[in-house]
Amino acid sequence: MKPKLVVLTGAGISAESGIATFRDSGGLWEQHRIEDVATPEAWQRDKELVNRFYNLRRKQAAEVEPNEGHKALVRLEEQFDVYIITQNVDNLHERAGSARVLHLHGELSKVRSTLDPSLVYEIGDRQIAIGDKCEKGSQLRPHIVWFGEAVPAIEEATRITQSADIFIVTGTSLQVYPAAGLLHYAAADIPKYLIDPNAETVAGIFNLTIVREKAGTGVPKVVSQLLNR
């Protein structure tokens, strides 16, 4: 049986593909207020604005390509059972070729019914409009977990993390919970890597190797080390 390797990714792994992160300088939350575009209240108040925001992001995500960081993670599958847990709503891990990707915060390429959350539709890079309805006649909304909403995939992500043999974190500021808490569910004695140009030590986490590099170079380095052990 192959060892189980779990990777938690955030916006930083897609930065070198050309998608802005949220909290770095020039990041998305400097240009838009979270309360205006990424909460259920914002959607209630101004659906056109929220929808336009996600239409634009969907279009942008479809125009960029996976980078060396995404691609290196695919190579790990030669020797490990790899599980990617991502906070990203782009599909660059899938397009790079990763087999198992769990999206904690939803996916830009999907929309869902506002009446029945189990009705989820793949729309690729298409735009949606206010007035576009699900099969039961209710407005479609972005398939995105907004601030203040539950994170349905967190239980599965926690289970996967608890049984990891190796845990890699890259491209996340670890500021948004519950995703940020996952690191604490990895077993104390397993090797852990944090790859991020601005990484700081994390209190209470043992066996943590910090690689202060961008994902595009840091991830391939760690991957080569792990494959050549």
Q: Does 17 bind ligand APR (CB under 6 A)?
A: no
| C-alpha gyration radius of the chain | 18
Q: Does 23 bind ligand APR (CB under 6 A)?
A: yes
Among 22, 43, 54, 167, binds ligand APR (CB under 6 A): 22
Cα–Cα nearest to 48, from 107, 123, 132: 132
Show contacts with ligand APR in window 179-218 (CB under 6 A). Answer: 196-198, 214-215
Among 5, 15, 61, 169, binds ligand APR (CB under 6 A): 15
Q: Checking DSSP bridges between strand 106-113 and strand 140-144, what pairing results, if any?
A: antiparallel
Closer residue to ligand APR in complex, CB, 109/173: 173
> In which element (H, E) is residue 69 found?
helix 68-75
Q: x-or-dash pattern for ligand APR, window 58-87, by CB under 6 A? A: -----------------------------x
With beta carbons less than 8 A apart as the criterion, state whether 226 and 73 touch. Answer: no
Show contacts with ligand APR in window 94-123 (CB under 6 A). Answer: 105
70 is known as an active-site residue: no
Closer residue to ligand APR in complex, CB, 24/165: 24
Cα–Cα nearest to 213, from 165, 157, 161, 168: 168
With beta carbons less than 8 A apart as the criterion, state whether 69 and 16 touch. Answer: yes
Counting beta carbons within 10 angstroms of the beta carbon of residue 65, is it exposed (0 to 12), middle (13 to 18) or buried (19 or more)? exposed
Interface region with ligand APR, contact rule CB under 6 A, candidates 52-60, 75-83, 132-140, 169-177: 169-177
Count of C-beta atoms within a 10 Å radius of residue 72: 21
Closer residue to ligand APR in complex, CB, 163/209: 209
Query: Which spans of this chain sit near ligand APR (rule: CB under 6 A)?
Result: 10-13, 15-16, 21-24, 27, 87, 105, 170-173, 175-176, 196-198, 214-215
